[in-house]
Amino acid sequence: MISEDTAAVRPPVLRPGDTVLLVSPSGPTSPERVARGMELLTGWGLRPVPAPNAYARHGYLAGTDDLRAADLNAAFADPEVRGVICTRGGYGAQRIVDAIDMAAVRRDPKVVAGFSDITALQFALWRGARLAGVHGPGAAWRDERTPLRSAESLHAALMTTEPVSITAVPTEETFGVRVPGRATGTLLGGNLCMIAASIGTPDLPDLTGAVLLIEDVQEPPYKVDRMLTHLRRAGALDGLAGVAVGQFTDCGDGWDTTIVDVLTERLGDLGVPVLGGLPIGHGPGQLTVPVGTRATLDTTTATLTTTPA
């Protein structure tokens, strides 16, 4: 059981002048998509540098497995690189996590930021180095989805050591998912599909005493049901302290059973506090939250508060 924040390795905060390597561990992207992200990072005083293979393309992957793993390992080994910011998710991180040089990660812990498929990478780094991470937008930035508030949230998580507090938003579709209570534990998780895909691998963390974060995109209610049921039957949710429910984007149209129905049914009888409506995930206004650090979920104040990554 990992329940104390002291169990996490928290890398040094990013400072103006620091070099951050932009890597693509999963799906392909393009310089045009990343240009806005580089503009933001530069405006914060950082030095964003695309990895050698950041714009590679190999079908639905951002280059071959060897190339993607090489970029990650180069970032972890280079003392000049102080942060690793993933360009996007997509698919492919699970194919390369076993090739990560965990000794290099442990020698020089660095901020690793991303979400979606990057949940697989952050799970591997938690397993291999107990490295706390940053669950937030990638460098392939879109202002229409991640406006100023999203940028400010990512900036605060990367470049300050202030606690992060996120309040549930009534207009979020999952806002009605709630089981009253207050829970404290290590915040772990991210994309539900990647959490479920980690069952049976070394990377699924022991969630005993943890607050589980879940979000997803374009998964119909029955698939969300299947993933949560799989996690339950595998015993992965036994002993949870609580569940933080983020955005389930484009997951419900055209079905009699809504995503809120499924989340309420599959999470409501776990006997732990559940808070929905958190603007964390693939939806508009995505906010950034540390993972692998101590968190408190409080349904009375409708907040998720974490110590910094």
The amino acid at residue 51 is A
b/e 90-112 (16+ beta carbons within 10 angstroms → b):
bbbbbbbbeebebebbeeebbbb
Which position among 150, 153, 155, 282 bears the catalytic label? 282
Tell me the two tokens of residue 108: 């020089």
Which position among 26, 116, 153, 198 bears the catalytic label? 116
44 φ, ψ (degrees, to nearest 5): -85, 0
Q: Length of the chain, please?
A: 309
The single-letter DSSP state of residue 282 is S
Helix (H, G, I), strand (E, B) or coil at 281: coil
Which position among 172, 173, 215, 219 bears the catalytic label? 215
Active site residue 135: no
Closest among 69, 86, 65, 64 to 20, alpha carbons compared:
86
Closest among 164, 185, 148, 178 to 277, alpha carbons compared:
178
Which residues carry out catalysis? Answer: 116, 215, 282
